[in-house]
């Protein structure tokens, strides 16, 4: 007997210890949770048995269109077909039945609700013959109040704050001696709503993930407990409105909400409560996925890797641009077919077609003839020569690559510099000779006056009869083909002139690329991004870009000329050339022009093709009258159509006429204006790959949600003035492009800026346009652009020279773009309006991204 007592005491003690350990573990896991056990799977099964005869088994739907769009099967559990129109009926009925079972004398219940829970509790109270009181805020929709009263409940109105709802419920609960049933933070509510998961998994057993909208967390907690118990490897994700902070709380494992919960400003009034309940929070913290954005993280890794390679050029830029083809599919971010298609879109063929015409222009020296002819009209004063070089370079770089333009113009400028330096050197030498002759004459006169003698050489030299002595002072002139001089031996003023002349060429080529859509890579990048977002309905066309960009190109070019003049020479020109000087410089330019000979048939033909292409681009969709593009349905035409058409014509059109009466000429093949060998050798295929890689990267960032996440991190910028916001973002783009390709940097930042603009409900073009243009303002470093490198290679410049003047120009040009966008840009592009395509993009971009890999199998995603 004593042994049995001892055994019983030990068993009771062991059970008590186990109970205490379980309780302490539960409290530790649930943090601030009460000492009650949390809801269990057995509670959910009991709730299912309790309420099954009163509720509906709601249907499950799927969408073939959505399935094709995201490459996965999505099922929707239609709880809107439940009793009272929402899932709340499950939890409310279970809670009321449990309360009734605990207290048979129960005569009523009370709750506060924004509508759905109140209706559900009123309906459940009617089934169990209980009185129901629902506290609602004064701004609750009348339709929901009417629905609550239709189920026989009493409504009490309170102020629209969470604290007042709780205070009113507590007061009535004490007065009427009835229990308060929370809309979510109640274990019986959680158990009832957990029956959704048991029913769902019975209908679709192969579910991989469940997405649950969260307010107080009752449904999310119940579904998480049931789903994990049935299928431990299933993933449960919660979806929250902006301002709820559940994501940050899950990541840190702490309740970061303020002490007094706030009501969120959202159209989903069922989700207006800012924070989770104290009972639902520990369950969600333990069972719900915390790394909700793992696909976003994978995409961020790929983006960071490409950014490092682009900046450091550890791999060639074009090779780095190919990384998305294998990187993002392996990371489960995007499908390979989707990414590969971005390398062959409309904008890529605009680039190829446009550059083919530029190659033909370079091949037949059309651009050089135009440049030299215009220089002959500009005069030969150094300041006007510099302006002439800049304006011509600016114009040519709108149509020909800025690298080719700079490579052509700098040797011409070098020849002009040599003549100016030689002329100045000749004048200085002549002045020195005159000064020496005058001094010697005075000394001779002084000798004669004092009775001294004069050497024969002296007399002869004074009388000018000894020609051999005079000829000693004459310097042999260099031939006009010897375009070189010793830069280090020049005086400081001449050195500054050489530096200014080199800088003016490369800077003008950078400015000129802004003028046309095909002028530089970033212009086509923003066009491609905008077309992808708007399904080709963006306001950016060749004509609209020219009308906006050409004035900016001219203004920035003129400002650059003024800054270079002031920076290197002061307000006044440091030195000027006389009539003889201007003649010699003009002779050099005329000699270069004469080397080209007469205008050939090929030059005329290439120029004709170029003019036709420009006219086709301008007239396709002009702003002031219907263009020829209006004769075709939407989607059938783009700027690539005329570009490729003219390109093909250049391969067909002969480079010369057949000579009449020449029997041999009648049978031989006349070369075309363009041949594939020339195109394949001169075409910058790397730029095409770079742009394609940029589009692929942008696609991955958008699909994964990384662009949206990055835009959210920049959301603080929305609080500053619009002008300041544009200036800051453009300045960042301008300085960022100093260390990497402007095409690369634009592909990195434009998708992010687009998401930022949509997030703050601004026209995306309003932010993207100035940033894209500002990537052309790379004036500070030799490595920033190929034109800078070419100018630097002549040896006149030091890095500090470019940094000093380039820093000033970067800021001034960004100011110009900021003013342009906020003045004529807003009315012209209607940037003060949020376009329809942006509204559609905002809706379609709200896609749920998970960590489940796209491994070629059918993954089942579910949305509640």
Catalytic machinery residues: 88, 114
Q: At what angle do helices 323-330 and 685-704 cross, to 10 degrees?
A: 20
* Token pair in block for residue 680: 């394949």
Cα 852 to Cα 302, 860, 862, distances in angstroms: 17, 10, 12
The torsion angles phi and psi of 362, rounded to 5 degrees, stand at: -65, -40
The sign of the torsion formed by the CA atoms of 757, 760, 763, 769 equals negative
Q: Which 8-state DSSP code applies to residue 263?
A: B
* Token pair in block for residue 46: 């009991």
The β-bridge relationship of strands 60-62 and 73-77 is: antiparallel
Helices (H) and strands (E) in the chain, counts: 37, 8
3-state secondary structure 76-129: EECHHHCHHHCCHHHHHHHHHHHHHHHCCCCCEEEEECCCHHHHHHHHHHHHCC
* Token pair in block for residue 343: 């390398």
- C-alpha dihedral, 772 to 777 to 782 to 788, nearest 10°: 100
* Token pair in block for residue 488: 């280090």
- CA 307 to the chain's CA centroid: 13
Judge whether 784 and 795 are in contact, CB under 8 Å.
no
Distance CA 16, CA 784 (A): 74
Distance CA 411, CA 368 (A): 11
Distance CA 802, CA 814 (A): 17
Cα 385 to Cα 112, 392, 577, distances in angstroms: 81, 11, 12
Closest C-alpha among 259, 276, 127, 98 to residue 189: 98
> In the chain, what are the helix, strand and coil shares in percent, each to the nearest 5?
65, 5, 30
Distance CA 498, CA 484 (A): 12
Judge whether 296 and 332 are in contact, CB under 8 Å.
no
- C-alpha dihedral, 663 to 666 to 672 to 675, nearest 10°: -80
Between vectors from CA 215 to CA 213 and to CA 220, what angle results, nearest 5°? 55
Distance CA 353, CA 349 (A): 6
Closest C-alpha among 853, 850, 714, 856 to residue 212: 850
Question: Residues 6 or more apart from 719 whose CB is under 8 A from it?
Answer: none
Judge whether 335 and 854 are in contact, CB under 8 Å.
yes
């Amino acid at each position: 007997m004593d042994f049995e007592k001892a055994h019983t005491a030990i068993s009771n003690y062991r059970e008590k210890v186990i109970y205490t350990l379980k309780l302490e573990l539960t409290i530790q896991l649930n943090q601030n949770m009460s000492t009650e056990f949390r809801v269990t799977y057995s509670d959910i099964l009991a709730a299912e048995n309790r309420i099954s005869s009163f509720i509906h088994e709601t249907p499950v739907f799927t969408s073939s269109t959505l399935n094709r769009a995201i490459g996965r099967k999505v099922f929707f559990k239609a709880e809107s077909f439940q009793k009272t129109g929402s899932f709340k009926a499950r939890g409310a009925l279970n809670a009321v039945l449990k309360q009734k079972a605990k207290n048979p004398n129960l005569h009523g219940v009370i709750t506060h609700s924004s509508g759905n829970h109140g209706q559900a509790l009123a309906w459940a109270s009617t089934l169990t013959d209980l009185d129901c009181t629902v506290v609602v805020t004064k701004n609750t929709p009348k339709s929901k109040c009417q629905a609550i009263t239709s189920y026989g409940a009493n409504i009490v109105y309170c102020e629209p704050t969470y604290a007042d709802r709780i205070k009113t419920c507590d007061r009535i609960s004490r007065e009427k001696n009835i229990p308060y049933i929370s809309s979510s933070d109640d274990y019986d509510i959680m158990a009832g709503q957990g029956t959704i998961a048991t029913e769902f998994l019975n209908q679709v057993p192969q579910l991989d993930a469940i997405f649950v909208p969260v307010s107080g967390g009752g449904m999310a907690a119940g579904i998480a407990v049931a789903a994990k118990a049935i299928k431990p490897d299933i993933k449960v994700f919660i979806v929250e409105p902006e301002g709820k902070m559940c994501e940050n709380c899950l990541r840190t494992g702490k309740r970061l909400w303020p002490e007094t919960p706030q009501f969120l400003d959202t159209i989903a009034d069922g989700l207006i409560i800012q924070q989770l309940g104290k009972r639902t929070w520990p369950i969600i913290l333990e069972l719900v996925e915390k790394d909700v954005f793992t696909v976003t993280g994978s995409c961020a890794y790929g983006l960071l890797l490409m950014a490092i390679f682009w900046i450091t050029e550890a791999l060639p830029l074009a090779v780095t641009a190919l990384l998305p083809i294998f990187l993002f599919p392996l990371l489960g971010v995007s499908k390979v077919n989707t990414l590969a298609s971005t390398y062959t879109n409309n904008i890529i063929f605009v680039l190829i077609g446009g550059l083919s015409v530029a190659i033909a222009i370079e091949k037949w020296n059309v651009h050089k003839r135009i440049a030299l002819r215009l220089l002959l009209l500009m005069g030969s004063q150094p300041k006007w020569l510099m302006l002439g070089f800049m304006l011509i370079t600016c114009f040519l770089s709108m149509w020909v690559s800025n690298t080719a333009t700079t490579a052509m113009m700098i040797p011409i400028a070098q020849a002009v510099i040599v003549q100016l330096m030689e002329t100045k050197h000749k004048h200085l030498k002549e002045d020195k000779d005159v000064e020496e002759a005058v001094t010697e004459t005075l000394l001779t006169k002084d000798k004669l006056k004092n009775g001294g003698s004069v050497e024969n050489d002296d007399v002869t030299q004074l009388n000018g009869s000894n020609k051999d002595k005079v000829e000693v002072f004459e310097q042999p002139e260099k031939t006009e083909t010897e375009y070189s001089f010793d830069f280090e031996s020049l005086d400081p003023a001449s050195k500054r002139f050489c530096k200014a002349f080199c800088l003016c060429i490369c800077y003008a080529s950078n400015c000129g690329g802004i003028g046309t859509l095909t002028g530089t890579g970033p212009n086509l990048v923003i066009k491609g991004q905008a077309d992808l977002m708007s399904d080709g309905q963006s306001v950016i066309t060749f004509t609209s870009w020219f009308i906006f960009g050409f004035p900016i190109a001219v203004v920035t070019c003129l400002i650059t000329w003024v800054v270079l003049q002031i920076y290197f020479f002061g307000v006044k020109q440091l030195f000027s050339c006389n009539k003889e000087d201007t003649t010699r410089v003009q002779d050099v330019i005329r000699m270069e022009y004469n080397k080209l000979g007469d205008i050939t048939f090929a030059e005329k033909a290439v120029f004709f093709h170029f003019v036709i292409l420009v006219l086709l681009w301008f007239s396709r969709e002009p702003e002031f009258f219907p263009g020829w593009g209006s004769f075709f349905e939407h989607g059938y035409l783009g700027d690539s159509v005329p570009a490729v058409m003219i390109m093909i014509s250049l391969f067909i059109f002969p480079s010369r006429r057949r000579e009449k009466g020449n029997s041999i000429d009648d049978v031989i093949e006349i070369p075309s204006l363009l041949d594939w060998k020339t195109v394949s050798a001169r075409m910058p295929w790397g730029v095409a790959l770079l742009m394609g890689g940029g589009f692929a990267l942008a696609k991955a960032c958008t699909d994964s949600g990384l662009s949206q996440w990055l835009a959210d991190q920049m959301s603080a910028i929305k609080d500053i003035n619009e002008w300041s916001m544009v200036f800051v973002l453009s300045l960042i783009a301008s300085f960022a492009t100093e260390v990497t390709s402007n095409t690369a940097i634009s592909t990195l930042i434009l998708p992010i800026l687009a998401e930022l603009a949509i997030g703050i409900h601004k026209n995306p073009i309003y932010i993207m346009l100035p940033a894209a243009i500002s990537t052309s303002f790379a004036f500070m470093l030799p490595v920033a652009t190929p034109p800078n490198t070419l100018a630097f290679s002549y040896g006149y410049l030091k890095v500090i020279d470019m940094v000093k003047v380039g820093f000033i120009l970067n800021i001034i040009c960004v100011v110009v773009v900021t003013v342009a966008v906020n003045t004529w840009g807003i009315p012209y592009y209607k940037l003060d309006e949020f376009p329809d395509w942006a509204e559609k993009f905002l809706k379609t971009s709200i896609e749920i991204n998970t960590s489940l890999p796209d491994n070629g199998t059918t993954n089942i995603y579910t949305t509640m």
